[in-house]
């Protein structure tokens, strides 16, 4: 019998246009806590989905207890004793803890053919006791805290005889004390022989819990290390360590005066005291880990989700954006993160999509001026090199990159001063990426101030003049893009608790 409970060998998985995983290895010992690390988009999610049977690998082998195994679907994975607990707990908030634990595998009384709640409640109680829970099986799930809900999720996994537990950023939503409790629970599980794959952005979690770490980068396997033999710096280097490829066009824009200033912007639960500036002709990157509050800040500036406190200045003049229409009037354009839902009317032709944000400009004596609309659309479309044959083409038929260009064109129909681009290259292919970078450069040269939200380090370093890094809703660093490094940005975006006094105090203050 093998000493590894789970082995993945040469696993590859491609999606149209992207190689999500490329020859990845992973070995999990019995009773081991094994950390999995990587930047956003490094392939961690795909990796989990392959283990849990959501995706099938294109190549490679999965062995469980040394036996090659096919995991065709999530049910297969469950039968093999694999369970996953996600950052955002997926539960039924209106049902009781017992119902949540045993949903799908309730015990049925042989005679009455009814669900045997008495037994189930008893069993649930046993699990909760083992996990040191401070609530009862009959408690309604929705009334529990996130940490308590995680306990229920763990109980649910154990009740289904899970031997391999995947925990995806379980500490992210927890307070310091809850995190400590979770550590104890996880260690307790390990001592009972459960093997755990632990995914976290917090280096602290890893050093506290795990014995080994496997690092992925851009879908590739970088290596596995014993944690007592690798330093934090080396981990960060391993996560980042790649060359910036040369497809970023050279920048010539002249940087002028301030065009956007944000002061102490706060929205409860999302971000706090966010301040930064963007100058004319400047490209400022807004980066940080997913969930750091970047999109929320942009939406606050743009007025779709107004901030609770703080002020926004355009060319030194304070503006009150309670609605996107006001922001557009003031010269703020926003390319939303989810282009299909927030940016486009998919069933509509090119021209109508482009004019949607500035319909007033295409009116003549109260009527829509269709010929002006067509002409302006044609000019903008050709300028941005949208690959369409006619202004009547439906945007649904265009590729992701071209759809993105359509939204940029939409911003250009108005009199914009600042353009906010939220993950402009997300889900577009490499060619289209280069085209979008070129457009950004051209716009900066024309004197627009550009704020780009991006999770991709090379993009941030290659395109931006300055980088604003956010961590857990606050600005943690403003860096000069020419002088900084991926490592510095990543350190500023991760929670390190290393020599960072103010952080430690803050944590203490919260407790």
Partner 1 sequence: MSERTIQTEKPWSWKNFFFQWEWFLIALLIGINIFNSFLTPYYFTADTFLSTPMNFLDKAFLVFPMMMIIVLGNIDVSVGSIIALSSVIMAVSYNAGLPMPAAMVLCLIVSTTCGLINGLLQAKFKELSSTIVTISTQIIYRGIAYIILEDKASGKFPSWFSFLGWGYVGNVPFITIVFVVFTIIFAILIHRTRFGRQLFAMGNNSTACRYSGIKTENMLVSVSTIMGFMAGITALFLTSRMGSTRPNVASGYELDVIAMVVLGGVSTAGGKGRITGPLLAIFIIGFLNYGLGLFNISAQVLLIILGVLLIVSVMLQNLRFDKRRQKSGVVSK
Residues that bind partner 1 (CB under 8 A): 302, 304, 323-328, 334, 336, 341-348, 350, 352, 356-357, 359-360, 362-363, 366-368, 374-375, 377-378, 381-383, 385-392, 394, 396-397, 410
Q: How far apart are the first and last CA of the chain?
A: 47
Q: 208 or 326, CB closer to partner 1? A: 326
User: Among residues 117 and 302, whose Cβ is nearest to partner 1?
Assistant: 302
CB distance 471 to 224 below 8 Å = no
Nearer to partner 1, 324 or 477 (CB): 324
What is the rounded distance in angstroms from the CA atom of residue 444 to the CA atom of residue 464?
Answer: 11
- The CB-of-383 to partner 1 minimum distance in angstroms stands at 7
d(CA 373, CA 391): 10
Q: Rounded CA gap, 77 and 389, in Å?
A: 47
**Nearer to partner 1 among residue 356 and residue 481 (C-beta):** 356
Q: Distance (Å, rounded) from C-alpha 325 to C-alpha 376?
A: 21
Taking the least distance from each CB to partner 1, the nearer of 60 and 400 is 400
Those residues with Cβ within 8 angstroms of residue 305's Cβ, 6 or more apart along the chain or in another chain: 267, 296, 299
Rounded to 10 deg, the angle between the 400-412 and 430-445 helix axes is 10
Residues with Cβ within 8 Å of 15's Cβ and at least 6 positions away in sequence, in order, are none
CB of 378 to partner 1, least distance (A): 5
Smaller CB separation from partner 1, 250 or 366? 366
Q: State how far the alpha carbon of 326 is from the alpha carbons of 121, 305, 467, in Å.
A: 55, 13, 27
Is the CB of 117 or the CB of 334 nearer to partner 1? 334
In the structure encoding, which two tokens stand for residue 307, read together?
A: 């901030």
Write the CA distances from 352 to 264, 343, 406, integer angstroms.
37, 12, 10
Shortest Å distance, C-beta 323 to partner 1? 7
Q: Using only C-alpha atoms, what is the Rg of the chain?
A: 26
Q: Which is closer to partner 1, CB of 236 or CB of 386?
A: 386
| CB of 393 vs partner 1, minimal distance in Å | 8
**Distance in Å, CB of 413 to partner 1, minimum:** 10
Q: Which of 65, 25, 66, 60 is nearest to 43 (CA)?
A: 25
- Residues 33, 23: Cα–Cα separation, whole Å: 22
Q: d(Cα 354, Cα 363) in Å, to the nearest integer?
A: 14
Q: Give the other-Cβ count within 10 Å of 215's Cβ.
A: 24
C-alpha to C-alpha distance for 196 and 177, rounded to whole angstroms: 21
Closer of 2 and 399 to partner 1 (Cβ): 399
CB of residue 470 to partner 1, shortest distance in Å: 21
Least separation in angstroms between CB 101 and partner 1? 31
Q: The tokens 């600042």 sit on which residue?
A: 418
In the complex, the smallest distance separating the C-beta of residue 385 from partner 1, rounded to whole angstroms, is 5
Minimum CB distance to partner 1 smaller for 409 or for 452: 409
Tell me the C-alpha distance between 478 and 113, whole Å: 64
- 180 phi, psi to nearest 5 deg: -60, -45
We find the least distance from the C-beta atom of residue 31 to partner 1, in angstroms, to be 44
Q: Which is nearer to partner 1, 445 or 485 (CB)?
A: 445
Q: Pairing relation of β-strands 258-267 and 309-314?
A: antiparallel
Q: How far is the CB of 361 from partner 1 (least distance, A)?
A: 10
Q: Where are the alpha helices (DSSP H) in 241-321?
A: 294-302
Q: How far is the CB of 382 from partner 1 (least distance, A)?
A: 6
């Amino acid at each position: 019998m093998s000493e590894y409970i789970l082995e993945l060998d040469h696993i590859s998985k491609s999606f149209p246009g992207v190689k999500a995983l490329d020859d990845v290895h992973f070995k999990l010992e019995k009773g081991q806590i094994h950390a999995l690390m990587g930047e956003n988009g490094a392939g961690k999610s795909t990796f989990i989905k392959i283990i849990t049977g959501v995706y099938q690998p294109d190549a490679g082998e999965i062995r469980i207890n040394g036996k090659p195994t096919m995991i065709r679907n999530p049910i297969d994975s469950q039968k093999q004793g694999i369970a996953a607990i996600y950052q955002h707990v997926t539960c039924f908030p209106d049902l009781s803890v017992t119902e949540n634990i045993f949903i799908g595998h309730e015990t049925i009384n042989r005679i009455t053919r009814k669900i045997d709640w008495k037994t189930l409640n008893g069993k649930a109680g046993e699990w909760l006791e083992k996990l040191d829970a401070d609530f009862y099986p009959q408690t309604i799930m929705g009334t529990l805290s996130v940490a308590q809900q995680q306990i229920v999720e763990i109980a649910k996994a154990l009740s289904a005889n899970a031997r391999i537990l995947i925990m995806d950023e379980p500490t992210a939503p927890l307070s310091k004390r809850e995190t400590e409790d979770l550590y104890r629970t996880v260690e307790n599980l390990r001592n009972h022989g459960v093997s755990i794959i632990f995914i976290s952005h917090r280096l602290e979690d890893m050093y506290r819990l795990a014995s080994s770490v496997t690092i992925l980068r851009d879908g590739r396997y970088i290596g596995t290390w014993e944690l007592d033999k690798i330093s934090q710096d080396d981990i960060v280097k391993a996560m980042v360590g790649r060359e910036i490829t040369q497809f970023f066009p050279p920048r010539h824009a002249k940087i002028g005066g301030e065009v956007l200033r944000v002061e102490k912007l706060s929205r409860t639960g999302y971000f706090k005291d966010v301040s930064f500036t963007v100058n004319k002709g400047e490209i400022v990157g807004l980066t940080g880990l997913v969930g750091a509050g970047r999109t929320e800040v942009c939406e606050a500036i743009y007025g779709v989700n107004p901030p609770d406190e703080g002020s926004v200045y355009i060319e030194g003049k304070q503006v009150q954006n309670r609605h996107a229409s006001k922001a557009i009037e003031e010269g703020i354009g926003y390319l939303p993160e989810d282009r299909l839902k927030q940016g486009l009317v998919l069933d509509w032709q090119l021209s109508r999509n482009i004019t949607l944000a500035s319909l007033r400009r295409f009116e003549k004596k109260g009527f829509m001026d269709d010929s002006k609309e067509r002409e302006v659309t044609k000019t903008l479309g050709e300028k941005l090199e949208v690959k369409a044959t006619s202004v009547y083409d439906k945007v649904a038929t265009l590729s992701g990159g071209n759809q993105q260009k359509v939204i940029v064109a939409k911003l250009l129909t108005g009199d914009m001063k600042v353009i906010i681009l939220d993950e402009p290259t997300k889900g577009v292919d490499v060619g289209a990426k280069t085209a979008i970078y070129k457009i950004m450069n051209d716009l900066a040269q024309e004197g627009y101030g550009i704020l780009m939200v991006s999770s991709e380090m090379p993009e941030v370093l290659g395109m931006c003049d300055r980088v604003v890094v956010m961590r857990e809703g606050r600005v943690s660093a403003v860096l000069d893009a020419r002088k900084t490094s991926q490592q510095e940005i990543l350190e500023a975006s991760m929670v390190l608790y290393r020599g960072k006094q103010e952080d430690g105090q803050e944590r203490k203050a919260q407790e």
